[in-house]
Structure 1
Amino acid sequence: MTDRLELPDTEWHRVSPKYIVVDVVGAIITGVILVAATSIPAWLTDIMWLWAIPAATALISLATIAFVPRRVRSIGYTLREDDLLFRRGLMFQRFVAVPYGRMQLVDINRGPLARALGLSELRFVTAAAATGVVIPGLADTDAEQLRDRLVELAESRRAGL
């Protein structure tokens, strides 16, 4: 028995390796803000043991940054006959199947750093809020082609309802 859910004859499409840069920069910015915020009480009160809080925050931030490449490699999607299957996660894996006929909106977002690297984020909205899926780190052309393909599939599936 394996500890990973693998589907036979499934070709997983991965996100761009450039997405690692976007995720690392985001983690660094978040880590710096958290360390600065947790340093304020120690700085204002001069209580030495309070410096353990920003130190722990810095260690957690560094550990988070160390796992970014592996976490990005775990993100993937595949187009199946009736749905799109999306997966992500290391310890807590998430698999979401989004039926084409249930897609109401397929949206492309580009943040400033992702845009500079030629990356996009594809977001699907369905009637059920819990099944909203975001595929980050797609190359711009891949995101646009996938969006067009999904809209085409969604329209053909809804017409058959």
Structure 2
Amino acid sequence: MDPLFAPPAESWHPVSTKLRTLHRLLFVVWTLVIAIVVAAVVALVLQWWWLVALIVFAATVVIVWGWLWSARNQAAWGYAENAEDLWIRHGVAWRQIVAVPYGRVQYVDVAAGPLERSYGIATVSLHTASSQTSAVIPGVPADEATRLRDRLTELGKTRGSGI
């Protein structure tokens, strides 16, 4: 592993693989919906069957790319806790690592839409006084999200300048 992105603690905690499954589901559904609508319009209005075949081929390529992307995207997300900070990493091509000192945390959000809840995952967001801080962890298992929320809230209180 690149030392620049080495974990500050013993190791990175990965996000749930259910995030990958959810991304794949959404990618396939939206690509198929768009491809079917466009292909139907082309077939009914223009009757250019070669263009319909091209749309089907393009949709297949996009679905394969999205399938591979979702696996790499999910694997790139991780977080690590040490005594003073929460570290979050993400990104495949443009990797990013964010360290949020516990004392700077003002509040912690846990959000889960209907699909996320059905997969048992949530998104944990840390809010600080800085609008520049991008501290979001998607795909955290629901019980771990609750534990992380409670821990970060408590650490924010005890470190002084936070919550």
Provide TM-score, normalisation by structure 2.
0.80
- Cα–Cα, structure 1 residues 24 and 90, in superposed 2: closer, same or farther, change >3 Å? same
Q: Which structure 2 residues correspond to residues 42-57 of structure 1 after superposition, within 5 A?
A: 42-43=42-43, 44-47=45-48, 50-51=51-52, 52=54, 55-57=57-59
How many residues are matched?
Answer: 160
Q: Which structure 2 residues correspond to residues 25-64 of structure 1 after superposition, within 5 A?
A: 25-39=25-39, 42-43=42-43, 44-47=45-48, 50-51=51-52, 52=54, 55-64=57-66
Q: Which structure 2 residues correspond to residues 124-143 of structure 1 after superposition, within 5 A?
A: 124-143=126-145
- Cα–Cα, structure 1 residues 97 and 38, in superposed 2: closer, same or farther, change >3 Å? farther
Quick one: distance in 2 between partners of 1:46 and 1:154? 63
Quick one: distance in 1 between partners of 2:129 and 2:99? 14
Q: What is the CA distance between 1:67 and its match in structure 2?
A: 2.9
- Cα–Cα, structure 1 residues 115 and 67, in superposed 2: closer, same or farther, change >3 Å? same
- Cα–Cα, structure 1 residues 57 and 128, in superposed 2: closer, same or farther, change >3 Å? farther
Quick one: distance in 2 between partners of 1:8 and 1:100? 14
Quick one: distance in 2 between partners of 1:127 and 1:77? 21
Quick one: distance in 1 between partners of 2:4 and 2:47? 49
Could you give the per-residue CA deviations for residues 38-70 of structure 1, whole angstroms, max 9, x where no partner exists?
436633333456443563244123211123223
**Per the alignment, in what secondary structure is the counterpart of residue 129 of structure 1?**
coil
Q: Which structure 2 residues correspond to residues 7-156 of structure 1 after superposition, within 5 A?
A: 7=7, 9-39=9-39, 42-43=42-43, 44-47=45-48, 50-51=51-52, 52=54, 55-156=57-158
Could you give the per-residue CA deviations for residues 81-124 of structure 1, whole angstroms, max 9, x where no partner exists?
32211011222212111222222221111122221222221112
Return the letter of the residue paired with 1:105.
Y
RMSD: 2.7
- Cα–Cα, structure 1 residues 157 and 49, in superposed 2: closer, same or farther, change >3 Å? farther
Q: Unmatched 5+ residue regions in structure 2?
A: none
**Per the alignment, in what secondary structure is the counterpart of residue 158 of structure 1?**
coil
Quick one: distance in 2 between partners of 1:104 and 1:40? 51
Provide TM-score, normalisation by structure 1.
0.81
- Is residue 104–residue 156 contact of structure 2 (8 Å, CA) maintained in 1? yes
